[in-house]
Structures are given as C-alpha cells and as structure tokens.
Amino acid sequence: MIQIGIRSPVPLSVYEWTRGKGVTILAAETVHGMTMEAVAQRARKVVGAGPAYLSFDIDALDPAFAPGTGTPEAGGLFTWQARAILCRLKGISFAGMDVVEVSPPYDVAEITALAAATVVFDYLACLAPHAFAP
C-alpha cells in the first residue's frame, strides 16, 4: 500500500504504526519536491505486478482545486500533479478504483466534482490499451 499526498497531522504513534504495517507514505511536501515520474515509479515499485486497487481521496488535492471535501488541508497536491502521476501508472494491473470524500455542499462552482470526474476519466484512460502515456 502506498499513500500519496498525505499532510494531515497525526500522532507519531499512528504514523509509526502505519509504517510498521508496511505502508509507504509520500507526504504532499515530498511529492512537491519530486518529479511526477519519480512518484509513479515509487508507486509501481510498491504495487508490483499483482492486482491493485486505487482509492483516490479528493482531499489529497489542495483546497484551492478541491474545496468540496469535509477535511480540507492546505498544502495539497495540484490537480495537474495528481493527473500526471495517474497517467504514468498505465500498465498497472488495476482491479478497480473509487474517488472518496467529495462533499457537494462544500463544492464551490462544482470544481471538486470536476476534479473527481477527471481523475476517474484518467483512470479509465490508464486501462485503455492504446492510451497515450508520457
């Protein structure tokens, strides 16, 4: 399991427990300092060749790009970063995906819904055999 874009403060014991269970964590600040290719390569290394499930929590995005969530945290990923990572995951044996934490009552001008729909579109493009991949 890999978590990309984490930035919520948690007790050190929770962080250590999670890491102790084998979860790879790439904090948003770390991702901001990496190329999206490097992030995707790290995800590929963690996931391996087996089937994978993608759960995209919309609050991984910065609230400037996805305000319609119940737990907005400043410093999140830019939409272009999430899309660039996702399109570089083509070829992973995805078994399914979901997008969680979209909250329409908080969604300004429906930009969160647009971001979520775009993530789903990009995921589907990853599954297409002849889709463009950088």
Question: pLDDT digit string (tens) for 51-84?
Answer: 999 999 999 999 999 999 998 999 999 999 999 9
In sequence order, what DSSP letters do the residues of 27-77 get, joined into one string?
A: EHHHHHTS-HHHHHHHHHHHHTTS-EEEEEEGGGB-TTT---SSS--TT-B
Within a domain: residue 134?
A: no
Within a domain: residue 133?
A: no
Tally of domains within the chain: 1
Question: What is the domain-level CATH number for residue 38?
Answer: 3.40.800.10
Within a domain: residue 57?
A: yes
Within a domain: residue 67?
A: yes
Within a domain: residue 21?
A: yes
Within a domain: residue 108?
A: yes
Question: 36 in the Ramachandran plot: left (φ > 0), alpha (ψ -120 to 50) or beta?
Answer: alpha
Q: Is the entire prediction scored with pTM above 0.75?
A: yes
Position 115 pLDDT exceeds 60? yes
Contact of 99 with 61, CB cutoff 8 Å = no
Within a domain: residue 90?
A: yes
Phi/psi for 106 (5° steps) reads -100, 0
Banded pLDDT at 37 (limits 50, 70, 90): very high
Provide the token pair at 114.
Answer: 């647009």
- Where in the sequence is the domain holding 83, given as residue range(s)? 2-127
Within a domain: residue 132?
A: no
Q: Which of 118, 122, 121, 55 is nearest to 89 (CA)?
A: 122
Position 108 pLDDT exceeds 60? yes
